[in-house]
Amino acid sequence: MTEWRKSTYSVNGTDCVEIGRGVGVRDSKAPAAHLAIGTTAWVAFLNATKADKLTR
């Protein structure tokens, strides 16, 4: 069973993104489904986020 972690930026603990180690991400409102993300893609996403290089 995967342990899911909620974002620390979630104000109320329900409307947030959850991260599952080795599995991907999911919406806390729809926990039955998740988006699988590989390690390389996840690291690239984190680096882009930290560098503020994501477009809105």
The predicted structure's pLDDT at residue 39: 85
User: Which neighbouring-strand residues pair with 19?
Assistant: 5, 25
Where do we find the tokens 């930026």? Answer: 9
Long-range residue pairs from 49-53, CB within 8 A, at least 24 positions apart, any chain: none
Specify the pTM.
0.61
Please tell me the least confidently modeled range out of 12-16, 36-40, 52-56: 12-16
**Boundaries of every domain in the chain:** 4-50
